[in-house]
Amino acid sequence: MKLEIYKGEPVAGTFLISQGFDRQHKKVTELIEKYDTRFLTFMNNKSLSKGLIKRTVRTEKAGRPIEEYLLNEQQFMFLGTLFRNTDKVLDFKQSLIHEYHRMKKSLSVVASNQANEEWRKVRAEGKVPRRIETDKIKEFIDYAISQGSKSAEKYYMAISKMENKHLFLIEKKYPNLREVLGVAELDTVKQADHIVAKALQDGMMDSLHYKEIYKMASDRVKMFAEIRGQSVIDMLEKQQ
């Protein structure tokens, strides 16, 4: 299930929706165009809207670029009333509505964090060790390439994923995890960034193989997480 953010609002593409409704995408878009004035009433900025949100995308299944609409939660629910329900469609509706709800909670947490002075201070402080870690990762990538690595650039993402895996129990994926973390969790990440940077530096100083260095960094973060304890990241729980 994949939602996107468009101008601060969760939206789903009609190509995804057509698959969930087990309908041809063309039939779905034709239905939207038939009732476009009704769909427009569900736009958050309807007073400014002159048309529905439309874009061209390339999909593996279609094999060529297609035009699809991006629908917010209310538009999706209205579209759902135009189709006959089956168990598959009902399951899809339930799942996607849940995702809309979760995404809105996530956006709400981000807005709340950004309005919190303490959070903004801790977030800013955390960017310093993050930059240090990023610089060290760049140095580590060059080091790995010199030892024959063919995919060293992937370590930027691999190290971030490794930290998140050890530090948190993440219920769902978030576009930018650090934007939804609380103050205590941001502090945890800041310390983990320091740990990784130090491990990479130590390993390169000792002329270890780049795979050994990565494992050492991962082991140190894992040990830190076991002492600190993992935090559950779930936007629904944060709003309760």
Residues 126-156: tens digit of each pLDDT: 887 889 999 999 999 999 999 999 999 999 9
Q: Are residues 25 and 108 in the same domain?
A: yes
Higher pLDDT, 108 or 49: 108
Question: In percent, how much of the chain has pLDDT > 90?
Answer: 50
Q: Are residues 11 and 123 in the same domain?
A: no
Q: Are residues 214 and 170 in the same domain?
A: yes
Instruction: Give the largest Cα separation in the chain, rounded.
Output: 68
Q: What is the pLDDT of residue 123?
A: 80
48 has a pLDDT exceeding 80:
no
User: 55, 44, 49, 65: which is closest to 12 by C-alpha?
Assistant: 55
DSSP string for 126-164: HHHHHHHHHHHHHHHHHHHHHTT-S-GGGHHHHHHHHHH
What are 154-188's pLDDT values in tens digits? 999 999 999 999 998 876 666 677 777 888 888 89
Q: What is the pLDDT of residue 171?
A: 63
Q: Are residues 232 and 127 in the same domain?
A: yes
Least confident of 17-26, 48-57, 124-133: 48-57
84, 112, 140 - which closes a domain: 112
Rg of the chain over Cα atoms, rounded to whole angstroms, equals 22
210 has a pLDDT exceeding 70:
yes
Q: Are residues 107 and 123 in the same domain?
A: no
Least confident of 126-130, 165-169, 218-222, 234-238: 234-238
d(CA 4, CA 233): 19
236 has a pLDDT exceeding 60:
no
Average the pLDDT over 54-73 and give the result: 81
Please name the residue that has the structure tokens 């790995």. Answer: 144
Q: Are residues 91 and 134 in the same domain?
A: no
13 has a pLDDT exceeding 80:
yes
235 has a pLDDT exceeding 70:
no
- Give the three-class secondary structure for 63: coil
Q: Are residues 156 and 107 in the same domain?
A: no
Regarding beta strands 168-170 and 231-233, do their DSSP bridges make them parallel or antiparallel, or are they unpaired? parallel
49 has a pLDDT exceeding 60:
no
Work out the mean pLDDT of the chain and round it to a whole number.
86
Token pair belonging to 213? 């260095």
Least confident of 39-48, 95-104, 124-133, 155-164: 39-48
CA 42 to chain centre: 25
73, 94, 112 - which closes a domain: 112
Number of domains present in the structure of the chain: 2
What's the domain range around 121?
Answer: 117-238
Q: Are residues 66 and 152 in the same domain?
A: no
- Strands (E) across 37-184 are located at 54-58, 65-71, 168-170
Higher pLDDT, 45 or 71: 71
Regarding beta strands 54-58 and 9-13, do their DSSP bridges make them parallel or antiparallel, or are they unpaired? unpaired
Q: What share of the chain is helix, strand, coil (3-state, %, to 5)?
A: 65, 10, 25
Q: Are residues 164 and 53 in the same domain?
A: no
Q: Are residues 213 and 101 in the same domain?
A: no
d(CA 214, CA 228): 21
Band the pLDDT of 238: cuts 50, 70, 90: very low
Q: Are residues 49 and 141 in the same domain?
A: no
Q: Is the dihedral of CA 122, 125, 131, 137 positive or negative?
A: negative
User: 145, 166, 146: which is closest to 154 by C-alpha?
Assistant: 145
112, 147, 174 - which closes a domain: 112
Q: Are residues 129 and 215 in the same domain?
A: yes
